[in-house]
Amino acid sequence: MAELIVIGYDDHRVAEEALATVKDLERDHVVRLAGLAVVSLDAEGETHVDTSRRVVGATAATGALWGTVFGILFLLPGVGLLTGAALGGLVGRLAQSGVDDRFREQVDALLRPGTAAVVIMASKVTEDKFTAAMRPYGGTVLKTSLSDEDERELAERLTGPPR
């Protein structure tokens, strides 16, 4: 099961510090990442994305899934490659799997000009250790889950069935 965790911060610097801690937690095997980024809104309301290093899971499909989930959360309707029925089907599938309109609205509400969020897609999280390590940064935490089956189906919609 993949966990999608978004932690909102009022200060971009704090978000960067939290991001560094998540990377340390990955190195310590507390979290297994499929995707990691900091998203911020500047004073003009423009979205900026920092994926300070490429974090991709075991397959290209996981990377494609991460990119699409990320795009739907933060960039819709400007997702780009997916249009029309394909986008509608994917958004519908995401809604069935936990990334619904309500979750997207909550994510959108976290980001205001001058704020930032750490976005984490993890295939494994040791909750108690993760929570203890992230507690000093505060922030607003939003979390949803994708079952293994939902994650696989979404990835197949994006990249086709495994060969």
- Identify whether 163 is part of a domain: no
pTM: 0.76
- Cβ-based neighbours of 161, under 8 Å, separated by 6 or more: none
Looking at every residue in the chain, the average pLDDT score rounds to 75
128-158 residue pLDDT tens:
999 999 999 999 998 887 766 766 665 565 5
85-100 residue pLDDT tens:
444 554 555 555 556 6
- Provide the sign of the torsion angle of the four alpha carbons 76, 106, 126, 24, taken in this order: positive
Count: domains in the chain: 1
Q: Which of 11-20, 38-47, 75-84, 120-129 has the lowest mean pLDDT?
A: 75-84
- Identify whether 46 is part of a domain: yes
pLDDT at 9 over 50: yes
Per the structure block, which two tokens stand in for 69?
């989930």
Per-residue CA distances from 114 to 14, 39, 74, 75, 138 (Å): 12, 11, 16, 17, 17
Confidence band, pLDDT 50/70/90 cuts, at residue 45 = confident
Per the structure block, which two tokens stand in for 74?
């933060």
Structural domain harbouring 33: 2-141
- Identify whether 18 is part of a domain: yes
- Identify whether 161 is part of a domain: no
Given this model, what pLDDT does residue 40 score?
A: 87
